């Protein structure tokens, strides 16, 4: 009986600790909020959220200017909506290549070649890919 109580107590404590020490809402399936991205006291730690922040940053990805992306308010509609990415891009390298330089697949693409033009760093592109695959 006593062991059970202790166990329940310990589990509750563990739950409390993990709830309050995890970084602010991980971006899974939708873009993180500006609040999460700009939280100086508790900056995003994981690649997915960092990638989401690159995507919605107007001076970086600004991907939602052209693409509909879950969690963003300004839905661009001049490009395909970024949905079901894992199913549509089972090959991660192909997804990365599209973001690195869209003009390889379509020489007349209006999408900026984020890697070739060094708009994003290699690390930022990796993070964007990680985020994309949750959409």
Q: Which residues are near ligand HEC by CB under 6 A?
A: 55, 61-63, 65-67, 78-80, 82, 95, 98-99, 102, 106, 109-111, 114, 128, 132
Residue 18 or 73 with smaller CB distance to ligand HEC: 73
Closest CA to 58 of 72, 46, 39: 72
Min dist CB 39 to ligand HEC, Å, is 22
Closest CA to 59 of 6, 127, 124: 124
Residue 11 or 121 with smaller CB distance to ligand HEC: 121
Residue 40 or 100 with smaller CB distance to ligand HEC: 100
Min dist CB 50 to ligand HEC, Å, is 13
Please, what is the Cα angle at 44 between 112 and 75, to 5 degrees?
40
How many Cβ atoms from other residues are within 10 Å of residue 74's Cβ? 11
Min dist CB 9 to ligand HEC, Å, is 46
Return d(Cα 37, Cα 8) in angstroms, integer: 35
Residue 36 or 54 with smaller CB distance to ligand HEC: 54
Which phi and psi (to 5°) does residue 92 adopt? -55, -35
């Amino acid at each position: 009986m006593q062991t059970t109580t202790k166990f329940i107590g310990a589990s509750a404590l563990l739950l409390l600790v993990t709830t309050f020490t995890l970084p602010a809402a991980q971006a899974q399936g939708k873009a993180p909020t500006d609040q999460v991205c700009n939280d100086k006291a508790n900056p995003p730690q994981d690649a997915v959220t960092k990638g989401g922040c690159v995507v919605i940053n107007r001076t970086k990805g600004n991907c939602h200017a052209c693409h509909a992306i879950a969690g963003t308010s300004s839905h661009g509609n001049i490009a395909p909506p970024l949905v079901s990415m894992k199913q549509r891009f089972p090959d991660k390298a192909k997804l990365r290549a599209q973001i690195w330089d869209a003009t390889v697949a379509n020489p007349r693409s209006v999408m900026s070649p984020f890697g070739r033009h060094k708009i994003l760093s290699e690390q930022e592109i990796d993070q964007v890919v990680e985020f994309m695959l949750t959409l």
